[in-house]
């Protein structure tokens, strides 16, 4: 299906492949009760410009044609829309093909040097990271609800750059309720990569650690933490649908929206010991 021809570009064919922005999954809240929560959808979309593979973007997929055109224009790979004949999105292959009507810039030369920005939701290495998920063997330690609360209280003393200037994300490598290393950067992926480098330098294993982030729990974040062999990933922010799917596949205990006394366990609820629930809300559920 195609959009009607744009008024100013009558020869431009745009597919009409927008996706629903949210999906619903079950989560376990801080009271140990199952509830339905809405997650942002997340899909990889690989852009091809006249058969050249340009980049893989992570997107909710609601406006993939507009995203593609805007990206190519902003990156200087297109001068204007008069060059474009077709923009065809195919979610079966998670790709979009852009066909131009005349010779564009030398794309191959422009692709020789790529800069990965600090922007969220964008990565060129998604496919290669996904291939490693099948090889991950994750431990499943018990994480106490009381430890979670203590950790959240401890983290309040960090985020120094954010408190002074804002505009950064923070990530922490934790052991129980102790902060081993806290890193802030303009992008959450930069912060997690810095912690991964520290772990390698200091020969620190991740199997008994907890990873905290202020950022969203997207697919790439879950994959990176899985590669670090860290079994518990905790965020004050929300998660994407693909982030949850990969966490369940890799065996990562995924906890989102952790603020104050509230949280949502989206993966690995069997690994949570609910030891801080008031008696009045425990209901019939048994706790050891």
Structure tokens belonging to residue 118: 């600090």
Domains parsed from the chain with CATH numbers: 13-25+39-115 (3.10.20.10), 133-281 (3.40.140.10)
The DSSP code sequence of 125-186 is -HHHHHHHHTT-------EEHHHHHHHHHHHTT--HHHHHH---EEEEEEETTEEEEEEEES
pLDDT in tens, 183-217: 887 777 778 888 998 998 888 999 999 999 998 99
pTM surpassing 0.85? Answer: no
Q: Band of the pLDDT at 163, cuts 50, 70, 90?
A: low
CA distances 61 to 16, 32, 46, 90, 147, Å, are 11, 33, 12, 11, 37
Burial of 1 (C-beta count, 10 Å sphere; 0-12/13-18/19+): exposed
Q: Give the CA dihedral 168, 63, 90, 105, nearest 10 degrees.
A: -70
For residue 123, what are its two tokens?
Answer: 């990565």
Quick one: what percent of the chain has pLDDT higher than 90?
45
7-31: per-residue pLDDT in tens? 888 889 999 999 988 889 999 999 9
Using N-to-C axis directions, what is the helix angle for 188-202 and 219-227, rounded to 10°? Answer: 0
Q: Helix, strand, coil proportions of the chain in percent (round to 5)? A: 30, 30, 40
Instruction: Assess whether pLDDT exceeds 90 at residue 153.
Output: yes
Q: For the residues 51-62, what does the mean pLDDT come to?
A: 87
**Predicted confidence band at 258 (pLDDT cuts at 50, 70, 90)?**
very high
How far apart, in whole angstroms, are the C-alpha atoms of residue 61 and residue 71? 14
Please tell me the predicted confidence (pLDDT) of residue 128.
54
d(CA 151, CA 210): 10
């Amino acid at each position: 299906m195609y959009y009607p021809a744009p008024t100013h570009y009558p020869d431009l064919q745009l597919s009409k492949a927008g996706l629903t922005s949210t999906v619903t999954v079950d989560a376990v809240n801080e009271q140990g009760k199952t509830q339905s929560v809405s997650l942002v959808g997340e899909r990889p979309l690989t852009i091809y410009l006249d058969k050249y593979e340009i980049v893989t973007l992570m997107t909710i997929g609601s406006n993939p044609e507009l995203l593609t055109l805007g990206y190519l224009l902003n990156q200087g790979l297109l001068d204007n829309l008069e060059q474009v004949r077709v923009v065809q999105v195919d979610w079966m292959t998670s790709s979009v093909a852009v066909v131009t009507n005349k010779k564009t810039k030398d794309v191959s030369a422009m692709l020789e040097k790529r800069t990965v920005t600090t922007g969220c939701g964008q990565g060129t290495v998604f496919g290669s990271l996904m291939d490693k998920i099948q090889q991950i063997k994750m431990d499943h330690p018990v994480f106490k609800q009381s430890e979670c609360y203590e950790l959240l209280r401890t983290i309040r003393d960090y985020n120094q750059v954010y408190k002074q200037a804002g505009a950064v994300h923070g990530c922490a490598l934790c052991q129980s309720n102790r902060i081993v290393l806290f890193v802030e950067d303009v992008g959450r992926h930069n912060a997690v990569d810095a912690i991964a480098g520290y772990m390698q330098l200091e020969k620190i294993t991740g199997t008994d650690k907890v990873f905290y982030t202020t950022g969203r729990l997207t697919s790439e974040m879950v994959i990176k933490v899985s590669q670090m062999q860290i079994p518990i990933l905790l965020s004050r922010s929300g998660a994407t649908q693909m982030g949850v799917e990969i966490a369940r596949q890799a065996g990562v205990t995924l906890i989102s929206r952790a603020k104050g006394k509230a949280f949502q366990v989206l993966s690995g609820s069997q690994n949570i010991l609910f030891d801080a629930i008031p008696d009045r809300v425990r209901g019939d559920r048994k706790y050891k």
